Structure 1
Amino acid sequence: MAYKGYLIDLDGTIYLGKEIIPAGKRFVEQLQQSDQPFLFVTNNTTKTPEAVAERLAKEFDLHVQPSTIYTASLATIDYMKEANKGNRVYVIGESGLVDLILAAGFVWDEEEPDYVVVGLDTEITYEKLVKATLAIRRGAEFIGTNPDKNIPTERGLLPGAGSMIALIETAVQRSPIMIGKPNAVIMNEAVKVLGLTKDEVIMVGDNYETDIQAGIKNGIDTLLVLSGFTQKEDVPNLPVPATYTVDSLDEWEI
């Protein structure tokens, strides 16, 4: 089936840690050559779209516009603006999350925030977890940027944002509002950005729990590539199969 647009994961699909996945690079370049609309939809909140585009160019010689990158950070901001519960926020995360939230007009408040946002933070400390826990217990809305338990790297599967969110969830005995894949917030916004409908696009990714479930739960066809998180031996046991499964994106005809 021919699709009018592609929603594409990054980590584990286009690159793996600091290493490019050659078939992923070729896949994107073919989309560019054929003028096919595409949008990278990533649960990675550690970098801004501009920083992601710069990294793709410098490290992997893959050249895309920042406007083709939609992160869980942007989706979190969209959610908070629509919720309209205030503008005070405490964030556990890195610059790609914190800087964007503050630039969007939210004000840092560690004591009485309206929202506590938790994403991946490679410099996590116990004190950060304490501040988040106390603020949520005082009534702040608890937002998790994305549920990824692990992030695939050249070292192996490392703790992801979902692992940190789970720790705080245990401490506050309350489930967060979860923004990133496979949840509806980020997928609905991504389809809007492409200017297409859900039946005109396909979600491409390596992680069944996030990328492929994002499609399954939101009525979007899926292409599972076995280059990162989900392994070939996992496929027969998946509860709902992806629409398509390939070992490499070289196998996919655009």
Structure 2
Amino acid sequence: MKNFLIDMDGVLVQGKTIIPGADVFIQKLIKQKRKFLLLTNNPIYTPRDLAHRLQEAGLQIHEKQIFTSALATAAFLHSQRPDGTAYVLGESGLTQAIHEIGYIITDINPDYVVLGETHAYHFEMIKKAIRLINMHGSRFIATNPDPSGPSEDGLVPACGAMAALIEKASGIAPFFVGKPNPLMMRTALNYLNVHSENTIMVGDRMDTDIVAGVTSGMETILVLSGVTELGEIEKYPYRPTHIKPSVAEIEPKDFDN
């Protein structure tokens, strides 16, 4: 029986609106007692916040079924430098995850500058981050490389776009923890206690979801309900195993060996 790692934005929801058929797809996974985990590069919200948002949209999701790039980033920091310090640009999803591993959030000679996403980047914070990286040697970590993401009103800039600005100004490239870094995929597989050979990655982005699945040895399903259009697929050197208009067209039993 196959397990599923599922991207959230552009796959199950568009902003706060459920993608038609996503609720039926989740119900099938639950009814068939399959292990699944929502894997999102969005570090803004905590798993509890995201679960509430999805439940309000009509999806039966528990917070334990959500794994974010913020959680993966916190796990990475803890493995590298336990009980460290960080200057954080982000919302509660990221700051809470970092606090929970015992880190102190400070702008005084922090071990790391950690860039996430926020509803409003403040120029003074960006300037401070650049100087900490360039002048004080703080290590530059970013939650995810997505340059943009979908919303109800269209594309919005994401972490990768701001990371490019800070890299250009500081001269230091960030280490991205989220998809497509196999680190996040392995962490998620361990969290779910499943193996890559028996797991399918479902996503809407070729440059994060699908390549993450491919490099992690997973079967992949690209859905066209998010940012990727059918004509864009051929420009990539890798291909998804399957292509579907949306998760409404996925029948989990069809993928069992």
TM range (shorter): over 0.9
Please report how far the alpha carbon of residue 173 of structure 1 lies from its aligned counterpart in structure 2 after TM superposition. Answer: 1.0
Shift in Å, 1:85: 6.4
Q: Root-mean-square deviation (CA), in Å?
A: 1.2
Residue aligning to 1:18: 16
Kept in 2: contact 1:111–1:131 (CA 8 A): no
Query: TM (normalized to structure 2)?
Result: 0.94
CA distance in 2, matches of 1:32, 1:169: 43
33, 36, 55: which is aligned to 2:34? Answer: 36
Task: Check the 8 A contact 1:206/1:227 in 2, yes or no.
Answer: yes
**3-state secondary structure, aligned to 1:6:** strand
Name the counterpart of 1:220. Answer: 218
TM-score by length of 1: 0.95
Give 1:184 deviation, angstroms: 1.5
For residues 14-62 of structure 1, the C-alpha deviation after alignment (integer angstroms, 9 at most, x for no partner) is 001121102222211110111110001100001000111011112x121
Please give the secondary structure, in 2, of the residue aligned with 1:41.
strand
Any unmatched runs of 5+ in structure 1? none
Counterpart residue identity of residue 228, structure 1:
G
Quote the residue 1:134 is aligned against: 131
Whether 1:89 and 2:86 are equivalent positions in the alignment is yes
1:197-250 CA deviation, whole Å, 9 max, x = no partner? 111101001111111111112221110000001112212333211011111222
TM superposition outliers: structure 1 runs of 4+ over 4 Å:
none
* Residue of structure 2 in register with 1:153 after alignment: 151
Aligned residues of 2:39 and 2:66 also touching (Cα < 8 A): yes
Q: Secondary structure at the match of 1:22?
A: coil
Aligned to 2:164: 166
Alignment correspondent of 1:116: 113
Aligned partner of residue 111 in structure 1, secondary structure:
coil
Inter-partner Cα distance in structure 1 for 2:88 and 2:241: 36
Q: Give the partner amino acid of 2:70.
A: S
Question: Kindly, what percent of the aligned residue pairs are identical?
Answer: 39
Partner residue of 2:76 out of 67, 75, 79: 79
Q: How many residues are paired up?
A: 251
Q: Which amino acid aligns with 2:99?
A: L
Deviation at 1:102, TM superposition (A): 1.5
Q: Any conservation in 1 of the 2:85–2:104 contact (CA below 8 Å)?
A: yes
Secondary structure of 2:155's counterpart equals strand
Match of 1:204 in 2: 202
